[in-house]
Every structure is written in C-alpha cells, then in structure tokens.
Amino acid sequence: MRIVVKIGTSSLTDAAGRIDEAAVVKLCAEIAKARGEGHQVLAVSSGAVAAGMAALGLAERPRDGRTLQALSAVGQSRLMQTYNDVLAPWGLVAGQVLISPLDFFERAQYVHAKATLNRLLDLGVVPIINENDALADAEIRFGDNDRIAALVAHLVKADLLVLLTDTPGLFTADPRLDASASLIEEIRQVDAELEALAGGAGSARGSGGMASKLAAAKIAAWSGVRAVIAAAKREDVLADAVAGAAGVGTVVLAHERRLPAKKLWIAFAVAAEGAVVVDAGARRALLERAVSLLPVGVVEVRGQFHRGDAVELMTTDGEVFAKGLVRVSSRNLERMKGCRTEDLADGDPVEIIHRDELVLVP
C-alpha cells in the first residue's frame, strides 16, 4: 500500500512546545515497520512553529503571521534533524519536502511535485512533508497541513490517509463533558451534523483540530482514498489502520467517484468570497450538461469578489449546488448579469465560470 500519515503539533511536542523525541521515535518505528512489510510511507509533519517557539523561549503561540513564519524557519531544521536522527537506526533516510496549497493548483507545479514525491519513494526515501510556512504569501492558515495531507494522498494516488491526533477519533459528543459519548468508528458520508460534532480549533500548540481532520478526511474520500482519524499514542496505530482493525479510530470510507485535483482544490481548499445566484435554466444546464456558466443565467450577485476568486453558485431559493472560480469581478458581473453573449461589451468574458473550474458541491 501507499500510505500518507499526518501527525499534528500536539502529538509531536510536550507541554512546553519542545519536540517530544519519544513521540517521534514511536512514529518512526511504526513507519519502519510498515516499510518492512513492503508499504510506501509519506509523512506530513507539523511541529515547526512549536519547535521554533521552544528554541526562542516563547511560552505562547503568537498570532501575527510574520512571527509564525519566522518561528517556522527556526523550527523546521530542528524538526528535520530529529527525524533524520531517529530514522537512521532503521537504515531509512528522510527527505524534506516543503509544499504549499498552490502546488496542487498550478498545473506545472502539480506535475513537478508529483514527479518529485514519486522519485523519492522510488529511491526508498521517507518524504517528510510540511507546509512552506516560512515563505508563504499569506498568513499560516487553520488546518493547512491536514488539507495538504489529503491533497498529497490524492497527488500520489495513496491507498490510505492516516490522520494522527491526540484523541482516538470523532465522538458522538465531547467525551470530556458527556460520559455517554462514544467513538464513531465508520463514516460513509461526511454531512453537516458530523461537521458540527467536530467543533472548532485544537490545542494551543497547534493550529488544527477535529474539524480540520474531518475536512481532510472528506477531501480524501472524494479522492478515492480511505481515511482514518486515530490517536497518535495508540500502540501499532499505523499497522491497525492499514489492516482495518476494529476500533482503530474513525474511518471515513472512500467514494467511488474521484474528483480531479483542481476541482478538489476548488471544492474544499479555498474559501468562497461570494455567491452567484442563477436561474433554473442555468442550474439545469450546469448539472445535466456540464457546461460553463454564462452571464445570461445570472440573476443576482452576492458579496464582493475579484477575478480568480472562488464563489458559490446557488438557486433563487438559496440552495448551494456548485462552486467555481470566476473570470470577472463582482462589480463587473453586476453589470453583465442577464446579458446574452451578443449584448456583452468588448472585452467582457463570455464565460463567467469555465466548466473546468466549476465543481458540483458534493
């Protein structure tokens, strides 16, 4: 099998934010065991910011993006040094891969990232993947490494995504507050009720939480990849996830339908900046004939957005049924809405959203 395993900051560091070498040893031992059984393993590892905090003596995680990026630059080398030292006794070599969400969106970068990761696996290297936080254009965002892990699973056509965290999985309620809460062992379809159960952000040392784990599992499911959310401290957690052992964690089953990478990005990885309300005819054409959205089908523009932003498509009664990247700003679309192609001004795009950049919302 080809396995992507993601481990979060709270599972890799101690209460002071220092890298917990025992936790890294446990993870690497499980990776080595999986490698010995013939599996290929890629690790998506958080922890750089927390390691940077410890190195610089900071007790609390800063909120401003520039400081977070600086801390990532300090901590990333320390994180990789630990992985290299711990993997060496098993004869394994770690390879650092710093990646950003845009590597899954720009075609040339996507192809390059795929080729590099495949070559590393061919050479027997264990890729240690992290977001390229130090040079990111925007602030470090909530749950990016969870999403990146899911997108990497799609990129390399993984068989399994294992999301390791500090809880055994998703529960029917918060087990800290409700003694009757039980582990949800299998999910066939991620819906709004499950997303509500997942709640918000995680620990003070990390940036994610169960919500981001469930969102990543949802991406994996629509990539045709089985996902498991499980406790990093569980013995043989990786082997149990591979074997499909009962109670290993929360298993999110793969869908038969597999979305292409660009549409996965549009559907799950970028936030909608606004909404475009379309008439019944346009909705029917988009659903049944997989065409592009034209100005004539637009009846209302909601919010402010720019060319290239993601927007939701909805019916006049508020049902969201699709999402896509617009080729015109909200200001210009307000002027163009309802116009037939022959009535458009020179320079106006004929297609508001091209069919290759539009995805029906799962």
- 79-135 residue pLDDT tens: 999 999 999 999 999 999 998 877 877 778 888 999 999 999 999 999 999 988 777
User: What is the sign, positive or negative, of the torsion defined by CA atoms of 59, 60, 63, 69?
Assistant: positive
Residues of the chain with CATH 2.30.130.10: 271-360
Query: Rounded to whole angstroms, what are the CA distances from 48 to 140, 155, 289?
Result: 12, 23, 46
Percent of the chain with pLDDT over 90: 57
Q: What pLDDT, in 10s, does the model give residues 312-361?
A: 999 999 899 999 999 999 999 999 999 999 998 888 999 999 999 999 87
For residue 34, the one-letter residue type is A
**pTM score, whole prediction:** 0.81
Residues of the chain with CATH 3.40.1160.10: 2-259
Which residues, at least 6 apart from 160, have a Cβ–Cβ distance to it below 8 Å? 1, 2, 3, 4, 153, 225, 226, 227, 228, 241, 242
Strand, helix or coil at 42?
Answer: strand
Is domain 271-360 classified as CATH 2.30.130.10? yes
Q: Which string of DSSP letters, residue by residue, matches 297-325?
A: GEEEEES---TT-EEEEE-TT--EEEEEE
CATH class of 2-259: alpha beta
Is there a contact between 186 and 230 (Cβ–Cβ < 8 Å)? no
Q: How confident is the model at residue 200 (pLDDT cuts 50, 70, 90)?
A: low
